[in-house]
Amino acid sequence: MRLDKYLKVSRLIKRRTVANEACDAGRVMINDKVARASANVKVGDIIDISFGNKNVKVEVLSVQETYNKDEAKELFKYL
């Protein structure tokens, strides 16, 4: 699954366009490498997102195309 779509589906970022902009600005990294919005996300990847002065680091636990709002928290775990 594309990185920008995963960020939206997992609700780490609310909108896909915002996720796209964050990737273009170089604020999203996968496994310690700056990632583009089109990067492929796999189970076990570590995603690091910089929001201003706050960093969020998560591990990908599951990748599926659609999720309910309640199931979105099961896609990743915070590190």
CATH number at 66 reads 3.10.290.10
User: Residues 54-67: what's their mean pLDDT?
Assistant: 88
Q: How high is the pLDDT of residue 40?
A: 94
Residue 67 predicted with pLDDT over 80: no
Instruction: Categorize the per-residue pLDDT at 61 as very low, low, confident or very high, splitting at 50, 70 and 90.
Output: very high
Position with higher pLDDT, 74 vs 50:
50
10 within 8 A of 71, measured Cβ to Cβ = no
76-78, strands of its sheet edge to edge: 33-34, 28-30, 46-51, 54-60, 76-78
CA torsion sign for 7, 72, 44, 52 is positive
What confidence tens digit (pLDDT) does each residue in 15-60 have? 999 999 999 999 999 999 999 999 999 999 999 999 889 999 999 9
Number of domains in the chain: 1
Which domain range does residue 13 map to?
Answer: 3-78
Whether 66 has a pLDDT exceeding 80, the answer reads: no
- Helix then strand then coil, % of the chain, to nearest 5: 30, 30, 45
Q: Determine which helix (DSSP H) or strand (DSSP E) holds 47, and give its type and residue range.
A: strand 46-51
Reference 10, options 52, 49, 36; nearest CA is 49
